[in-house]
Structure 1
Amino acid sequence: MSSDATAQFNIHDAKTNLSRIIDRVEHGEEIIISRAGTPVAKVIPLTRKVHRSGRGSLRGKLVVAEDWDSPEVNESVARDFGLAQ
């Protein structure tokens, strides 16, 4: 546990400084929002589930069937989603 105290904002200050609070949270900080001095919410960073380096990051990792874009496969997918005519 960190020895630093968690930053705390009252609701009015949180509304006024929302962009700054979000920036701090994006950098790993947790922020407490209080109403009349009583903590009511905690703003915490979300952890990304997928870390991709950018376009092409899955190159060589996916195997695609030769007929993946054939009219038959497209019709089958459309039926699966209730879009077939």
Structure 2
Amino acid sequence: MATVSVYEAKSQLSRLIADAERGEETVVTRHGRPVARLVPFSDRRDPRVPGRWRGRVVIADDFDDFSAEDERDWYGA
């Protein structure tokens, strides 16, 4: 993984993009601190499956209730 300064990244952007197209990653630094990472674009995602969390998430019956105690907790009344 290469590391370049912001100045270098600005002046060598085309080369850095070509490197990313080849699968390389580059870290961009400002004053020696990493601030960004240039990585190859990936459009691969796991397909969404409806209902994957069915039976694993439980919502309490009083989920939408907002009591006086809740109001004191939120607003310090």
The TM-score with structure 2 as length reference comes to 0.54
User: Which consecutive segments of 4 or more residues in structure 1 shift more than 4 A?
Assistant: none
Shift of 1:37: 0.4
Aligned partners of 1:12, 1:47: CA distance in 2, in Å?
26
| Higher RCO, Cα 8 Å, sep 6+ | 2
Aligned residues: 44
Aligned partners of 1:48, 1:26: CA distance in 2, in Å?
13
Q: Is there any run of 5+ residues in structure 2 with no aligned partner, and where? A: 45-77
Equivalent in the alignment of 2:20: 25
Instruction: Report matched runs for 1:43-62 at 5 Å.
Output: 43-49=38-44
1:16 equivalent in alignment to 2:11: yes
One-letter amino acid of the structure 1 residue matched with residue 25 of structure 2: E
Q: Percent identity?
A: 39
Aligned partners of 2:42, 2:9: CA distance in 1, in Å?
22
Q: Is there any run of 5+ residues in structure 1 with no aligned partner, and where? A: 1-5, 50-85
Secondary structure, counterpart of 1:14 in structure 2: helix
The TM-score with structure 1 as length reference comes to 0.50
